[in-house]
Amino acid sequence: MNMAEFLKPENWLLPASGPRYLQLRRRLDDAINTGLLQPETPLPSEREIASLTDLSRVTVRKAIAALADDGAVVPRHGSGSFVAARPPRVEQSHSQLTSFTEDMANRGMETKTLWLERGLFLPSPKEVAALGLAADASVSRLARLRTANARPMAIERASLPHDILPHPTQVEGSLYKALSDLGTPPVRAIQKITAINLDDRDAGLLDVEPHTAGLKIERTSFLTDGRVVEFTRSIYRSDAYDFVAELHISKTKTP
């Protein structure tokens, strides 16, 4: 599909979907995220977008300004607006329990790991509570920077009971594959997602500016018998990830 077809107003402009400039801003952002508009390429001119959409140039100008405020496009004096260089977004489903390695492999992306910490430690109070450990127990920790196609994507800090993962230094790739090989694969998990501003250390690891928006995800995973097998705190680049959940409306019986 070309931009002329993509911007036909009958395909996306609706009376009940908010201000027209915001609808146009979303439509242009969709063109960027789907690759119809590639990084470092120019947006169509205000005049051209107005002609294709039957919107006023004032409306078009406001939509482009909103994209610029979000960092999606970069205005260049005398040359118009250009799509900003940014990493491709990864859409991760919340309907299945998968590892980072599996998620990236399913998208044809090559993953690599930079280990930040790996070994046996005394548990912190939060690890004792999350994993149900005795205060004098040992905890296996795995902290690593995950990259996809050589771009930093996420920082993972996993904690597991020592008897579940007795040799953390032997984990090289997917943690879930290692757990499956040991006969203790997680079967369900609870996740909490929080918007954060990245501190200096995490921003440096992810190659973004300090205080850039990020996503913190805490995951608690369970075995079939209900025991906690893993407590992981991950930091994701918010410019590279979309988390998607499929929701179902519950059916209620009518009297």
For residues 139 and 93, the model is more confident at: 139
Q: What is the pLDDT of residues 196-212, one digit of tens each?
A: 999 999 999 998 888 88
The candidate with the shortest Cα–Cα distance to 66, out of 43, 41, 87, is 43
**Does residue 2 sit in helix, strand or coil?**
coil
The three-state secondary structure class of 98 is: coil
Residue 62 is predicted with a pLDDT of: 94
Q: Is 91's pLDDT higher than 60?
A: no
145 has pLDDT over 70? yes
Tell me the average pLDDT of the chain: 85
Q: In the chain, pLDDT over 90 holds for what percent of residues?
A: 51
Q: Render 186-202 in DSSP notation, one character per residue.
A: --EEEEEEEEEE--HHH
CA dihedral 58, 59, 60, 66 (to 10 degrees): 110
Whole-prediction pTM value?
0.60
Question: The dihedral of CA 137, 229, 214, 114: what is its sign?
Answer: positive
* Residue 31: predicted pLDDT: 87
Residue 151 is predicted with a pLDDT of 81
**Residue pLDDT, tens place only, 212-228:** 888 899 999 999 999 99
Domains of the chain: 3-83 (1.10.10.10), 90-244 (3.40.1410.10)
List of residues 6+ apart from 112 with CB closer than 8 A: 146, 147, 150
